Amino acid sequence: MRRLLPSGVAWVAVTAVVVAISASAFAYFSPEGVGTASAGVSKLTAPTITTVTPAVGGTVSLAWSGATAPGTGTVMYYVTRDGGDPAGTCAAPAVPTASTSCKDSGVPVGTHTYTVTAVWRSWSVTSTTVTAKITVGAATHFTIAAATETPAVGASTNLTIAARDENEATVTTYTGAHSLVFAGAASSPGGTAPTVANSSGTATAFGKATSLNFTRGVASVRSSKNGLMKIFRAGPAEITATEGVIDTPSPLALEVISGAATKFTLSAATTTPVAGAANALTIVAVDTYGNTAAAYTGPHDLVFSLTSGSTSSPAGNVSTVSNSSGVDVPFGTATTIEFEAGVATTANDVANGELILYRSGSHPIKATEGSLTNSTALTATVAAAPVVNFVLTASTAAPVSGTSFNLTTTAKDLYGNNATSYTGAKTLTFGGATASPAGTLPTVVSSSGTVVNFGSPTAINFSNGVASVSSSRNGLTRLYRAEPVALTVTDGTISTATPLALTVATGAAARLGYTAVEASAGTVSATCVLTCPITGLGNSGTVSANVAAVDSAGNIVTNLGTARTLKVTANGGTVTGGAALTIPAAGLAVSETRFTYTAPANGNFSNTITAATTAGGTLTSATITASK
C-alpha cells in the first residue's frame, strides 16, 4: 500500500490529522500506509482482479473485488494498461470511479498487463498485475472482393467486404449495421454514377453513406441487396470503402469492360474548316453509357450525310470522306472505315476519315451503319475559300434600252461559294456592252452615286463578298444598244469567269432616225441616227438614206401598230423622193423607200436635212447637217 503525497484537498486532510495527533492521539504510518490514532487506524486493502477476459476486436473485460476503506467514504478505482491509460469504459488515474468493472477497447494484438488501483482519501493501493492476450484486434481496415474483377458496364457485381485487424484477421465482433462510403469509380461519360445496393436494396451512389449489414465481420450480398455493385464507366477502377477511420488500404482493382456499340460520336480536327480543305475526322463507337465500345473493331461500312442542307457546292463539288484505302467517297455512299478498339482516326491525313466539305455555311454531319448513328450531329461551319472570280447577276435578263436595272457583283471562291472575305471598297471596271446607235454609252452608278461609263474605273462597295444596289447606287446600270450583250467585270486581278448574258430590248418609239446613210463624198458621223453631221460632201454631192422610227437611244423599233407618213426637206440643195415616205405599221419600222439629197452645184454650204412626221402620230424629227 502506498500513500499519496498531499496536494490540494489531500493537504487539508493531512493538516487535520496533524491537529488531531497534537490534541490527544499518537499516530504512526507504516511503509504499507497503515496508521493508528485515538479512533484506531487500519490499512486500505488492495483490490483483487477477479476477471480478465480478452475478446475478438481488441477488447478486454475486467472485474475486481472492492477494497475495504479504513474509515468512512467511498473507495475509487482506476485501471492501467501496460503502465498507461486504458480506453473504453475503464477509468484513468485522472478520473477514478467507484465502479468495480470495465471494458477496455482498441487494445492492439499482443499480451498486455493490467492493474487496478484503489484510492481512498490520500490512500491508494494497487492490485497485483494480470495479463490478457489479444489474438484478434479491433477493425483497422476493410478488404473488398468481387465476384468478378472484369465486370461489364452496368452489370451487377457481388461485393464481399470484410473488417480486418492489423494482422488481417477477420474481426468477427464487427457486426450489425454499418454505414460505409464507397469510392474509386467515376461516373460514366454520360453521367451515370456507380452504385452499391444497401441492406434494403436501394442503389446508393458512390460517395454517399451506404448502410450494410455485417455478420461475424463480413458483409455479403443477399437477394441483390447488401453490396450489389454496378459501375458504368469502362476502364480501370480501384474500389475502396470507408467508415470513420476504417478504410481500404488495398483497393479492389477492377477492369470494367465496355458494352456493345449503340451509337457514334464524331469530332473533327476543326469545326471551322475552309471549303475544299482536308479535315481529319475521329469516329468513336460508344455504348449505352457513352464508353468507347472496345469490341467494335475492324472494317465497317459507314454512310456519311447531312441532317439538313446540300452536300454539294454551288459549283457542283460533292462533299467526301476518304475510306481506309484513301479513296475520297461522296456523301451518301458506303465508306469503309477501319476501327481499332472502337475508334477510327484519320491515317496520314489522307485515309480513313479525311473529310472535305465544299459548300460554305453550317453543316450538321451524321455517320450511319445500320441502326448505329450519332444522335448529336457534328456541326462544321465552313468558310469560303479565297476569291477566284466574279459572278454578275441582274434584276432582269431583258433590260429595256435606257432603263435602269440592278446589277449585282458577287466574289466567288473556287467552289462557287460567296467569298465573304472580299469586302469593303473596291475599284471595278465593267465591260461587254457598247454605245447605242446614237452614241450613248452604257453606265454604272458608283457607290457614291456617280454615273460612270463602262470601261472606266468604278468605285463599288462589297459586304461579305457581295456588291448590291442600294439607294440607286453601287451597281445601278443602264444599257442603250438593243442587242444581246455579255457583261464582264474585273478589279485588275479578279474577273468574271462567265460573262452575264442579257438581251437589251428596244425602247418605245420616241423619234425619227436615219438608217443606211450613204454619202457620195466626205465623212459620215459614226452616230448618224438622230443628228448626223456629214463633212466634206462637196458641190453636187449626194446623201441618201431611209428614215426609221427609233427609241430615245436610236434603236429601230418594230411593230409600230400605226403607219407613219413623213416628209424630208432641206434648207438648201434639193431633195428627191422625200415628199411622202411611209413607215409600215408592222415589222421593222423603216421607210420602204429612200430619199436623196443633192448639194448645191457651187459655193460653200452647210444645209440641214430634216425628217418629220406628217401623219399617223408625232415622233421627234431627225436632222442631217451636210457641209462643204
pLDDT of residue 12: 29
- Quick one: average pLDDT of 24-42? 38
What is the Cα–Cα distance from 145 to 254, expressed in whole angstroms? Answer: 10
Least-confidence region, from 9-23, 274-288, 503-517: 9-23
Inform me whether the pLDDT recorded for 626 exceeds 60.
yes
What is the Cα–Cα distance from 132 to 128, expressed in whole angstroms? Answer: 13
Q: Is 211 exposed, middle or buried (0-12, 13-18, 19+ CB in 10 A)?
A: middle
Inform me whether the pLDDT recorded for 231 exceeds 70.
yes
Q: Give residue-wise pLDDT tens across range 547-604.
A: 999 999 999 999 999 999 999 999 999 999 999 999 999 999 999 999 999 999 999 9
pLDDT band at 348; cut points 50, 70, 90: confident
Least-confidence region, from 1-15, 378-392, 450-464, 515-529: 1-15
pLDDT band at 349; cut points 50, 70, 90: confident
39, three cell numbers = 479512533
- Quick one: average pLDDT of 394-409? 98
pLDDT band at 42; cut points 50, 70, 90: confident
Give Dmax (Cα) for the chain.
190
Inform me whether the pLDDT recorded for 19 exceeds 70.
no
Inform me whether the pLDDT recorded for 462 exceeds 90.
yes
pTM over 0.85: no
Q: Which residue has better confidence, 426 or 1?
A: 426
Inform me whether the pLDDT recorded for 10 exceeds 90.
no
Inform me whether the pLDDT recorded for 213 exceeds 70.
yes
CA-closest candidate to residue 428, choices 463, 455, 388, 450: 455
Q: Give residue-wise pLDDT tens across range 102-118.
A: 999 999 999 999 999 99
Strands (E), 331-439: 334-339, 343-345, 354-356, 361-369, 372-373, 378-382, 387-394, 405-413, 424-431
What single-letter DSSP state applies at residue 35? E
Opening angle at CA 271, ends 494 and 261, nearest 5: 145
pLDDT band at 16; cut points 50, 70, 90: very low
Positive or negative, the CA dihedral 135, 139, 140, 142 is positive
Mean pLDDT of the residues in the chain: 92
> How are beta strands 424-431 and 457-462 bridged, if at all?
antiparallel
Inform me whether the pLDDT recorded for 11 exceeds 50.
no
